[in-house]
Structure 1
Amino acid sequence: MNNLRKHFPLIEQYTYLNTAATGLLSEPVFDYQQDKNIDFLVQGSLYRDKEANILTEIREKIAHFFSAEASRVALVPNFSFGFNTLLEGFSAGTKFLLLENDYPSINLAVEARDFNLTYAQIDENLEQNILQKVETEKPEVLALSLVQYLNGIKIDLTFIQELKKKYPQLLIIADGTQYLGTEAFKFAASGIDVLGASAYKWINAGFGNGFFMFSEKAAHQISPKTQGSDSYMGKYKENGLHLLGNLEPGHLNYTNMGSIKIALELQEQIGKEDIEKHLQILSAEAKKKFTHLGLLEESVLNRKEHSTIFNLKGGEKLFQRLTQKDIICSQRGDGIRLSFHYYNTLEDLEALVEVLKK
């Protein structure tokens, strides 16, 4: 992975442990955006005509990368836009199961509507908590983040598959913003009905782009009223209005959306499995060292597997010390959030630990 660090100039000066806030922009994505903006500058409407097929290419790249159907991949400016649009396709009184203190873009959007709500607790028994609520409360929809933004707790994806088999009528909607780009993932086999993500974090595609993948069941069951000229235009929309068109009612920024394709191609060059293995090693080593220093909460300590996001016990004084040592991280909740991606190394972890020890 070390030879790939050249694509990310910022890490020559800083120890960047903040992908959970903003993923770094790579030079290939930057160069692509520069080239496309120059084309638009000098070509005007001719640029749009030339780029007529780009959205189809992006859709198909996402589908190939995550093992989904291209006809059921929608391009959106960000997760929040797509999720709010999606929620307009549910009738009042629909019963939702949410997670307590999940990412605001999920919970606030659902809570703002006239739905029937119930909640499961996020702790070391997350999966059992969800199962108990499904069995007793019988929700119609489960909406959750695959990885928790505050402490990095990751849902067991095998549990999601088993839950779907046991309760096939339960519609499962997930936010993959803090997950997609960290592991090899196959949407078609996941048991998830709708999976959306903003692409500026672990996919490293910059701002203003995201996507939703959805199952055939979801395509028939969810019907938002959003429409626009682009709801009917382009490949995969020829058969009339459906969920894909509902999620894409108007013009999209070709350059921003195209950045997803370039970012995914870089991950393909590295190798999805290699990225996954590298991050598993980093996560395991980080958890071991943070545990030794007594910096992790019990709910994280007691889980077998973890993501690459950690929230360490510490306040403003520790945060300022890390910042002074050129370690970029975030204050989240009651602690300091650190996150590792494929451009991070064990040397980055050691540099962090040396500061924490002092």
Structure 2
Amino acid sequence: MDNLRKGFPVLEQYTYLNTATSGLLPEKVWEFRQDHDLDFLLQASLLKERQGEILTGVRETVGSFFGCAPNRVALVPNFSYGFNTLLEGLEKPKKALLLKNDYPSINWAVESRNYDVSYAEIDEHLEENIAEALRKEEPDFFAFSIVQYINGIKLNINFLKNLKEEFPEVVFVADGTQYCGTEVFDFDHSGIDVLISSTYKWLNAGYGNGFILFNKNVQPKILTKAIGFNSLQGKYKAQEGNFIGKFEPGHQDTLNYGSLKTALDLISSTGLEKVETQINSLKARAKEQFMELELLEDAVAARKEHSSIFNIKGDDKLYRHLRSRGIITSQRGNGIRVSFHYFNTEEELGILIKELKKFRS
């Protein structure tokens, strides 16, 4: 277990249960960033001449990690940039299906455009609600978070795959920001058409980097008009009709995208299967103890499958009490959000439970 915590100095100071807000910066990513900027300081344009080579390596690492060919991987600074660029490429007007009270960067972006929008409820029957809404509303695209940011309700990946078989013409657009890096994931066999993710949370890659994965059949439905010099440069662009280049106009940041590659390499060296096993163990134990203390909303308690994000009952006084004890959480919705990553331990869960009981006594 100590090996899983190595290289994360924050863990020496705090009980950090807040990856759902911000992941940690690993020492290896910090070291890469120092080396990169030293190279830029000493080499200037000589380093930038290697931009294509560097970004090709990032693209190939992302593709290998998530099961997507590198010629269908676009590198973007964050989810919102990628999603808004995607929406501008969809022919309008369109019928859209969203999840009610999903992450604002999804819903606000769709609602601010000229779409006919309908919603599915997020509760213990989430999958049934989505299937019913698709049959009733017949949308052109369905945009959603795989994991809900407030309470951690997680969509079943096999459900999405089966759903796509029932609705092959609907474009499925997923936000993977609260999901990618928590379990083994094969994009090409997921049923998702487009997955967009920021990587500063569960992938611990820092800010300013993200990616988009495209299903090979979805490209004709996306007519993105953005273009810049870098749109035509790179190994996977010109021969692919410049599709992914439309999401990468201008000069790209090799510091931030290189950070993403370093972070993915770190998880791969640890073993994503090992990461998934540790997270599954922690979230199962956490849910059990939270339910014993009656801290979870009914919708979360009733679901068999859940993420490692929980929203527990508590107010500002409890939040401040936990912070005073060095337990880092966040306030979301009507409660306190706690989240467990692979570097967390059952001992840290025990520290949280102890303070929750102490506060209530």
Partner residue in 1 for 2:61:
61
Residues 127, 155 of structure 2: 8 Å contact kept:
yes
Partner residue in 2 for 1:334:
334
Partner residue in 1 for 2:269:
269
CA distance in 2, matches of 1:3, 1:242: 43
Q: Please tell me whether residue 13 in structure 1 is matched to residue 21 in structure 2.
A: no
Task: Give SS of 1:53's match.
Answer: helix
Alignment of 1:182-221 (within 5 A): 182-221=182-221
Residues 231, 241 of structure 1: 8 Å contact kept:
no
Q: Please tell me whether residue 105 in structure 1 is matched to residue 105 in structure 2.
A: yes
In structure 1, the gaps of 5 or more residues are: none
Residues 52, 235 of structure 2: 8 Å contact kept:
no
Q: Please tell me whether residue 298 in structure 1 is matched to residue 301 in structure 2.
A: no
CA distance in 2, matches of 1:330, 1:169: 39
Q: Per-residue CA shift, 1:119-166, capped at 9, x if unaligned?
A: 000000000000000011111101000000000000011110000111
CA distance in 2, matches of 1:279, 1:149: 17
- Cα deviation, residue 52, structure 1: 3.4
Q: Per-residue CA shift, 1:28-74, capped at 9, x if unaligned?
A: 00000010011111111111113430100000000001110100000
Q: Per-residue CA shift, 1:234-277, capped at 9, x if unaligned?
A: 11112264430111111111010011111111111111111111
Partner residue in 1 for 2:321:
321
Residues 232, 240 of structure 1: 8 Å contact kept:
no
4+ residue segments displaced more than 2 Å: 239-243
Residues 52, 233 of structure 2: 8 Å contact kept:
no
Task: Give SS of 2:118's match.
Answer: strand
Partner residue in 1 for 2:312:
312
Task: Give SS of 1:306's match.
Answer: coil
Residues 154, 307 of structure 2: 8 Å contact kept:
yes
Task: Give SS of 1:195's match.
Answer: strand
Task: Give SS of 1:239's match.
Answer: helix
CA distance in 2, matches of 1:128, 1:190: 18
Report percent identity of matched pairs: 53
TM-score by length of 2: 0.98
Partner residue in 1 for 2:155:
155
Q: Per-residue CA shift, 1:181-219, capped at 9, x if unaligned?
A: 000000000000000100100000001000000011221
Residues 72, 215 of structure 1: 8 Å contact kept:
yes
Q: Per-residue CA shift, 1:58-107, capped at 9, x if unaligned?
A: 00000001110100000001010010000001122211100000001100
Task: Give SS of 1:216's match.
Answer: coil
Residues 232, 241 of structure 1: 8 Å contact kept:
no
CA distance in 2, matches of 1:235, 1:172: 27
CA distance in 2, matches of 1:98, 1:233: 35
Letter of the 1:229 partner, please give it.
F
Partner residue in 2 for 1:131:
131
CA distance in 1, matches of 2:285, 2:343: 16
TM-score by length of 1: 0.99
